């Protein structure tokens, strides 16, 4: 069984809860679809945990923290400040200074995508692994969806939007609740968004990830110590209160 995680965003409490849940359910390996850093108060600790996982892909904010942050939309200033702070955290002194160099080397070597059997793993989309968003409302954009499905052999696992669910080739978006939190692959091509561990934005504050059990994708929601994460954010001057307050709304 494979645990597929995405968009952790420095939220250590959520990540620890998800890893514990995955272990309880017999997960044998962790695949991460990117965005370990940005927004949250523990980028260093989350990155250190990720260095032991089977596959870790590069996310757009992982890339941004290693260079000049791009235009990140209406919350650009808040996001940019968090990335600059995250960069300083990754450079922070530790008892073993070799760890700092290992972190940057690890980030620099992250692949943009991973293919395995009939599945493609990306952060954004099959056509643009780092930056393209695929939102639920895109099912009404036949040209975009046609292009995405043409780029996939069978299945694509992705994140980036922080909204879990399954896009079918028949141009439907199935939310986890609509399928009993489990979707069986095999009825045609599918794009599977595994949601976000550290910053859910589907109206549910609980950490979200997916378990791939044979040909079945199981969406998991996990409660975590959200109060501690919020307090940590509010205690850091360079992290906007908004980043902590939004956690409770799942938006």
- Phi first, then psi: what are they for 148, rounded to 5°? -65, -45
> Which band of pLDDT confidence, cut at 50, 70 and 90, is reported for residue 66?
confident
User: Is the Cα torsion angle 74, 79, 84, 85 positive or negative in sign?
Assistant: positive
List pLDDT tens digits, range 179-213. Answer: 999 999 998 999 999 999 999 999 999 999 999 99
Angle at 221 between CA 27 and CA 49, to 5 degrees: 50
Name which residue leads in pLDDT, 56 or 102.
Answer: 56
Q: What is the mean pLDDT of the segment spanning 121-150?
A: 97
Contacts of 153 (CB under 8 A, 6+ apart): 118, 120
Q: What's the chain's average pLDDT?
A: 92
> Which band of pLDDT confidence, cut at 50, 70 and 90, is reported for residue 83?
confident
- Phi first, then psi: what are they for 48, rounded to 5°? -60, -40
195 touches 164 (CB < 8 A): yes
Strand partners, 207: 222
List pLDDT tens digits, range 15-51. Answer: 999 999 999 999 999 999 999 999 999 999 999 999 9
57 touches 247 (CB < 8 A): no
pLDDT at residue 95 is higher than 60: no
Query: What local confidence, expressed as pLDDT, does residue 74 receive?
Result: 46
The DSSP bridge pattern shows strands 207-213 and 182-184 to be unpaired
Residue that is written with structure tokens 């702070």 in the block: 85
For the structural domain made of 2-115+173-187+199-249, what CATH number should be given?
3.60.21.10
For the chain, the domains span 2-115+173-187+199-249
């Amino acid at each position: 069984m494979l645990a597929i995680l995405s968009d952790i965003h420095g939220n250590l409490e959520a990540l620890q809860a998800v890893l514990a849940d995955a272990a309880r359910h017999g997960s044998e390996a962790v695949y991460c679809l990117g965005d370990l850093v940005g927004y949250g108060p523990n980028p260093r600790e989350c990155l250190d945990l990720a260095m032991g996982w089977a596959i870790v892909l590069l996310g757009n904010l992982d890339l941004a923290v290693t260079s000049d942050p791009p235009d990140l939309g209406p919350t650009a200033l808040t996001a940019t400040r968090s990335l600059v702070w995250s960069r300083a955290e990754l450079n922070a002194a530790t008892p073993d200074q070799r760890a700092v160099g290992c972190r940057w080397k690890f980030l620099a070597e992250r692949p943009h995508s991973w293919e395995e059997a009939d599945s493609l793993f990306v952060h954004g989309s099959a056509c643009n692994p780092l930056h393209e968003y695929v939102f639920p409302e895109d099912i009404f954009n036949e040209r975009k969806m046609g292009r995405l499905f043409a780029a996939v052999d069978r299945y694509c696992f992705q994140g980036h939007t922080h909204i879990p669910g399954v896009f079918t080739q028949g141009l439907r978006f199935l939310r986890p609740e609509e399928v009993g939190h489990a979707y069986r692959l095999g009825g045609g091509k599918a794009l599977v968004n595994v949601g976000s561990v550290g910053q859910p934005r589907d109206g549910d504050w609980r950490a979200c990830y997916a378990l791939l059990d044979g040909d079945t994708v199981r969406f998991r929601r996990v409660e975590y110590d959200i109060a501690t994460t919020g307090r940590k954010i509010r205690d850091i001057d360079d992290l906007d209160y908004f980043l902590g307050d939004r956690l409770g709304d799942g938006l």
